[in-house]
Amino acid sequence: MATSANPTRDDFEALLNEQLGGAGDEGFEGRVVKGTVTAIENGMAVIDVGLKSEGRVNLKEFMRVDDEHGLEVGSEVEVYVDRVENADGEAMLSRDRARREAAWDKLESEFGEGKRVEGRIFGRVKGGFTVDLDGAVAFLPGSQVDIRPVRDVAPLMDVPQPFQILKMDRRRGNIVVSRRAVLEETRAEQRSELIDKLSEGQVTDGVVKNITDYGAFVDLGGIDGLLHVTDMSYKRVNHPSEVIEIGQTVTVQIIRINEDTQRISLGMKQLESDPWDGVAAKYPVGMKLSGTVTNITEYGAFVELEPGIEGLVHVSEMSWTKKNVHPGKIVSTSQEVEVMVLEVDSEKRRISLGLKQAQRNPWEEFAEKHPVGSEVEGEVKNATEFGLFIGLDGDVDGMVHMSDIAWGISGEDALALHRKGEQVKAVVLDVDTDKERISLGMKQLEKGAPSAEGADSSALRKNQTVTVTVLEVRDGGLEVQVGDDGATGFIKRSDLGRDRDEQRPDRFQTGQKIDAMVTGFDRSKKPTFSIKARQIAEEKEAVAQFGSSDSGASLGDILGEALKKKED
């Protein structure tokens, strides 16, 4: 297109239309263009952008940091063309909109590159805050303000600071930013720099920031490390507050650095001498020593032998006599106890202790005080199907087997004669200290019982009828003796006669002589007698000698004749 040497306004318009593709003035709408300030009047700047008419922009839109150089006639500025011509025939221009569009272009570029942007928090809205990003308004969620919840955001208002763009939607005009992401990234960079300066085994000072049940967090100058409660001291620490307090400066050793999680483990006891060095020589097996109970569990009690050295007394090694009881019923925390070293494992840092081994074996003591054959007295603690358990001196129990309870009656009947809580006397038959058993006998104390040599019962034979003397009348039967110094035995209540009325022991008297039949011998070769068996045997004999079932003779006649013959 040819133009004259002195182009007119129409020539300029035609040239501009050609550059814009022949769209005319309407091609300017929605664009950011450069214009020239032609006048400043009534608080407005008159700007010529090459359209048919000039536009007016409020001077307040130029009161920004980027306009500090001032505005005057002839200044070139960028404005946004909202409309080419309004009702007054003027172009509608906006400096704020132009700045906003420029800001969006810049933000989109920085968002694509993942860069941080600078902005100012200038308002509060529901759920967060508004941020001015050099003309573009963004939303800052409350959760993205800081790493930790912030109660007062006043110090952060209207302060230039970096933000990270999380999301952008230009069509909807939405921008979401985060201040927390910038802080976390900065913090991670600082942690990495600090961790690079630290190494495992290094000794450094730190300040205790926080204390928990499981340890304490120590500030190492911008990065925290965890001092676990088990690494505070070789001795037992129930709670970290027993050793350290918040604000205290402590010297620690870096035990481990996790490069993946950037977590640092610290220790204090590592700076002390290890009390477990040479512990096997210091505490040989079999050694007796005193200690303090520090902790009680269901499986035993821990005893501190010295600061940093603890041993376990298993529940099975706590008492000679108290079995299957909770350790708390035998010892208490802080109690001073005497123990014996049973085993030492230096590698696993374990010492097995015995509480009962430090005391005298009660079965050995009992055997010394009560040799076999001596008489003892105690309370019936329990009755089982095979005997009685008697409580004895030294908190030990002895057992009376049911065959050793009484002479002449079955073990079941003998058990029925005694009850729990009854005081009884017995003889010591045997003491096995290894198996922790004491055998007792009660029948050995009965009047007329065989001596150590034993009464001569070899002359007696089963089914023999003998004359016995009543030594003692009991509810369960009669204690009897053959002759004056013969074998002793027992006649059970049910063997006192054939009829129920005859089976009453009270119809007999001590010293009375009666005929009875030997029905057998017990394990100690002591005879058992029966009046009932003798009666039945005599009846059978009489019937066989003097009559038969069809003789017509009565039983009374037969027995009378038999008794008369016996008297003769």
The reported pLDDT for the residue numbered 563 is: 55
Per-residue pLDDT tens, the chain, 568 aa: give them: 444 456 655 565 555 555 444 444 555 666 777 777 778 877 777 777 777 777 777 777 676 655 544 677 777 777 777 676 666 667 777 676 777 777 787 888 888 888 888 899 999 999 899 998 877 889 999 899 888 888 888 888 989 999 999 988 877 878 899 999 888 888 777 777 777 778 888 888 889 989 998 899 998 877 888 999 888 888 888 889 888 998 889 999 888 888 777 788 999 988 888 888 888 888 899 899 999 999 999 999 999 888 888 899 999 888 888 888 899 988 999 899 999 999 998 888 899 999 988 888 888 888 888 888 888 999 998 888 888 999 888 788 899 998 888 876 777 878 888 888 888 889 998 888 888 888 998 888 876 555 434 445 556 788 888 889 988 888 888 888 887 777 888 899 889 988 888 888 989 998 889 999 988 876 566 788 999 999 888 888 888 776 654 444 555 555 555 555 555 5
* Helix residue spans in 145-207 (DSSP H): 180-197
Radius of gyration from C-alpha coordinates of the chain: 56
3 state DSSP class of 543: helix
Domain 114-184 matches domain 284-354 at the CATH topology level: yes
Q: How far is CA 19 from the centre of its chain?
A: 82
- In 3D, which of 540, 541, 542, 513 has the Cα closest to residue 529? 513
SS3 state of residue 317: helix
Contact between 104 and 170 (Cβ < 8 Å): yes
- 329 in helix, strand or coil? helix
Cβ(324)–Cβ(332) below 8 Å? no
What pLDDT, on the 0 to 100 scale, is given for residue 2? 47
Q: Do the strands 350-354 and 215-219 form a parallel or antiparallel pair, or are they unpaired?
A: unpaired
CATH number at 362-445: 2.40.50.140
Structure token digits, residue 289: 């020593």
Q: For 465-546, CATH number?
A: 2.40.50.140
Domain extents in the chain = 9-100, 114-184, 198-271, 284-354, 362-445, 465-546
Do residues 491 and 477 lie in contact, with contact meaning Cβ atoms separated by under 8 Å? yes
Both tokens of residue 12? 């300029």
Residues in the chain: 568
CA 358/CA 331 separation, integer angstroms: 14
Of residues 373, 247, 216, 238, the one with CA closest to residue 304: 238
Q: Please spell the DSSP secondary structure of 100-128, one letter per residue.
A: HHHHHHHHHHHHHHT-EEEEEEEEEETTE
Residue with tokens 């928090």: 121
Q: What are residue 528's DSSP bridge partners?
A: 490, 520
The sign of the torsion formed by the CA atoms of 554, 556, 562, 568 equals: negative
Q: How is the chain split among helix, strand and coil, in percent rounded to 5? A: 25, 35, 35
Pairing of β 288-297 and β 300-306: antiparallel
Fold of 284-354: OB fold (Dihydrolipoamide Acetyltransferase, E2P) (2.40.50)
Q: Tell me the CATH architecture of domain 198-271.
A: Beta Barrel (2.40)
Torsion 341-343-345-350 (CA) sign: negative
Nearest CA to 59 among 34, 86, 95? 95
Which residues are within 8 A (CB) of 324 and not within 5 positions of it... i.e. 6 or more apart?
none
| 114-184 CATH, one of 3.20.20.140, 3.40.640.10, 2.40.50.140, 3.20.20.210 | 2.40.50.140
Nearest to 487 by CA among 429, 385, 368, 407: 407
Domain 9-100 superfamily per CATH? Nucleic acid-binding proteins (2.40.50.140)
Q: What are phi and psi of 137, to 5 degrees?
A: -100, 130
What are the structure tokens assigned to 73, written together?
């006639």
Cα–Cα dist 530/493, whole Å:
9
Do 449 and 381 meet the contact criterion of CB atoms below 8 Å apart?
no
- pLDDT at residue 141 in the model: 92
